[in-house]
């Protein structure tokens, strides 16, 4: 498409987890022209494509918006890191590549909140459409989708299986596929890796569409605002190379800038809470008070132990080992360079009376920080554990009409007592699991939190100082029909024509799991809605829940109590 052309059928803002999916699907029949705008640039860096290097792009300004929250009042006034992808593939190019759909009841919860048509039975066909599962398709898993999903190195390190066995000994289910009928339990973890490379949406969806004449990609483009005329989106104004450009649209503008970027861009365009916009010096175009509200995220902390056997990945953190791992990956695309190292996991309920899992484990056979540095000398392992169904809510609030000025981000983490209670369960239940017989030959001293952390008050204080974001901001432009909903169940912005939001910001509530998989599913289904196609037929696949969830926290008694 000639760069002289400036009118398109669709304009997509953001080439991230959702935007790349939309760019592919909206151009595949050749009937519509699409302009895809991305503030970042190329994703061809080895640090993006090599799975084991995941900590680097997340902490690099070139590839990620390095947002910070306001001081969080319930986390000792700490400012929390909130990186968001600023590169082709968006956050799917900087994330940990963990593939978790969420529990089936998470999506039923969406429908119950007013997002009609987004229950599990309607969402499952789109999860299947998106993926190629390494072990073949069935009623739950896809076998011909763009997104490659597997288990990395097939749990070659013995610590992975020991953790699963410990979970079973503690009385929980053994779950062979948590993305199928039963999430609850312990089993292998899945990741978006294909051929040893990160399977971002840029690799899976955008690259196959790049040669289509009806798709135009513009990188290093910062969108300033959506243009509105008589309550209809007619185009966007964006900046590239020091110049301001205008692109017009015949059908729709679609915001896929993420849970920070999309509400901020709506507010820059005069869409949102009138009082907030007035404070930022922005003329009101459309009163929509829910824009930026309902912000949610997952928190987690590291439970770290010394390892009694010389099997942990701490032995692979030296420069010589890293060089060998990187060289093998460059030559063969396999080995330790071709995994995110989170190869086993667990999903459990925090207490009796919780219907589906609200706690999640990522197991890592090493003890280190997110920046890839060693936590201590010697062998170790750690569990990333978090309470995944928070009650606390925050907001994304514009502070200036200058599009270069980031918004004010406040999650209000742990504001609600239920969330603090959930993290107390994280500490106590994890100790019980790790003290099962399967871990006896590996389990050394508890480094963090440390056995001196026992009472509710001590646990609360530890969590306030140690907890980190799991980097899952969402729900800031929620889908629904109530007064605070921003988009309707067809992803259209309430009260406006020609404007949609399609990304994790429109989740009504946050699922129990990592957000990349449900974001891709959402974009797949939204693409059919945008094109006016008949949605895929709903699934009738069964969902497994513990029949006695109201009376018990887990299916069986533990073999050994925590020490």
Instruction: Specify which residues 187 forms β-bridges with.
Output: 345
For 230, phi then psi, to 5°, come to: 50, 50
The reply, when asked if residue 185 is annotated as ligand binding, is no
The reply, when asked if residue 223 is annotated as ligand binding, is yes
Residues 142 and 130: beta-carbon distance below 8 Å: yes
SS in 3 state form for 197-242?
A: EECCHHHHHHHHHCCCCCEEEECCCEEEEEEEECCEEEEEEEEECC
**Candidates 384, 472, 490, 494; catalytic one:** 472
SS3 label, residue 323: helix
Closest CA to 89 of 221, 199, 224: 199
The reply, when asked if residue 87 is annotated as ligand binding, is yes
The reply, when asked if residue 502 is annotated as ligand binding, is no
Q: CA–CA distance from 295 to each of 210, 261, 483 (Å)?
A: 33, 12, 16
**Tokens representing 320?**
């010589």
**Tokens representing 331?**
């030559």
Let me know the angle formed at the C-alpha of 149 by 144 and 154, rounded to the nearest 5 degrees. Answer: 130
Round to whole Å and give the CA distance between 504 and 260.
10
Round to whole Å and give the CA distance between 217 and 291.
27
Which residues 6+ apart lie within 8 Å of 8 measured at CB?
A: 33, 34, 35, 216, 247, 248, 249, 250
The reply, when asked if residue 96 is annotated as ligand binding, is yes
Q: CA–CA distance from 463 to each of 3, 101, 321, 429, 473 (Å)?
A: 52, 26, 33, 15, 19
The reply, when asked if residue 291 is annotated as ligand binding, is no
Q: Is 341 a catalytic residue?
A: no
Cite the annotated binding site by residue number: 87, 95-98, 223
Cite the annotated binding site for FAD by residue number: 87, 95-98, 223
Catalytic residue IDs: 472
């Amino acid at each position: 498409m000639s760069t002289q052309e400036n009118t398109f059928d669709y304009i997509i803002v953001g080439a991230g987890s959702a935007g790349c999916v939309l760019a592919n699907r909206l151009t595949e029949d050749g009937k519509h022209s699409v302009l895809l705008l991305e503030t970042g640039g190329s994703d061809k860096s080895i640090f993006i494509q090599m799975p084991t290097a995941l900590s680097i792009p997340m902490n690099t300004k070139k590839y990620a918006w390095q947002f910070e929250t306001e001081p969080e009042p319930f986390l000792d006034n700490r400012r929390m890191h909130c990186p968001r992808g600023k590169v082709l593939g968006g956050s799917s190019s900087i994330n940990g590549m963990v593939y978790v759909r969420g529990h089936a009841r998470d999506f039923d919860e969406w429908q119950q909140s007013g997002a009609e048509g987004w229950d599990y039975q309607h969402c499952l066909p789109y999860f299947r459409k998106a993926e190629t599962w390494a072990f073949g398709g069935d009623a739950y898993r896809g076998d011909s989708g763009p997104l490659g999903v597997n288990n990395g190195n097939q749990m070659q390190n013995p610590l992975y299986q020991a953790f699963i066995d410990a979970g079973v000994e503690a009385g929980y289910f053994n779950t062979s596929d948590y993305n199928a009928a039963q999430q609850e339990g312990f089993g292998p973890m899945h990741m978006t890796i294909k051929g040893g490379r990160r399977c971002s949406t840029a690799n899976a969806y955008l690259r196959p569409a790049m040669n289509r004449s009806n798709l135009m990609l513009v990188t290093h483009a910062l969108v300033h605002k959506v243009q509105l005329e008589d309550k209809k989106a007619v185009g966007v104004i964006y900046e590239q190379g020091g110049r301001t450009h205008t692109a017009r649209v015949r059908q729709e503008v679609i915001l896929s800038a993420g849970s920070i970027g999309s509400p901020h861009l709506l507010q820059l365009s005069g869409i949102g809470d009138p009082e907030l916009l007035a404070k930022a010096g922005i003329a009101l175009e459309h009163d929509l008070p829910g824009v930026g509200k309902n912000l949610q995220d997952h928190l987690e902390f590291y439970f770290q132990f010394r390892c009694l056997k010389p099997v942990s990945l701490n032995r692979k953190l030296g420069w010589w080992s890293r060089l060998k791992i990187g060289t093998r990956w460059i030559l063969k695309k396999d080995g330790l360079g071709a995994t995110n190292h989170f190869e086993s996991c667990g999903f459990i309920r925090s207490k009796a009376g919780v219907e589906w899992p609200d706690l999640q484990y990522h197991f890592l056979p090493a003890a280190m920080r997110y920046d890839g540095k060693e936590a201590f000398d010697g062998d170790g392992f750690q569990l990333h554990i978090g309470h995944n169904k928070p009650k606390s809510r925050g907001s994304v609030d514009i502070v200036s009409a200058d599009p270069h000025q980031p918004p004010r981000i406040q999650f209000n983490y742990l504001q609600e007592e239920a969330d603090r209670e959930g993290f107390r369960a994280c500490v106590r239940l994890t100790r019980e699991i790790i003290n099962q017989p399967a871990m006896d030959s590996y389990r050394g001293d508890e480094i963090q939190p440390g056995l001196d952390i026992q009472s509710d008050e001590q646990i609360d204080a530890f969590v306030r100082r140690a907890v980190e974001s799991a980097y899952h901001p969402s729900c800031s432009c929620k889908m629904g029909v109530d007064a605070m909903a921003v988009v309707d169940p067809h992803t259209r912005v309430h009260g406006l024509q020609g404007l949609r939001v399609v990304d994790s910001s429109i989740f009504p509530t946050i699922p129990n799991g990592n957000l990349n998989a449900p974001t891709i599913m959402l974009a797949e289904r939204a693409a059919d809605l945008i094109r006016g196609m008949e949605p895929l037929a709903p699934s009738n696949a069964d969902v497994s829940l513990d029949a006695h969830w109201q009376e018990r926290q887990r299916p069986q008694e533990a073999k050994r109590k925590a020490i």
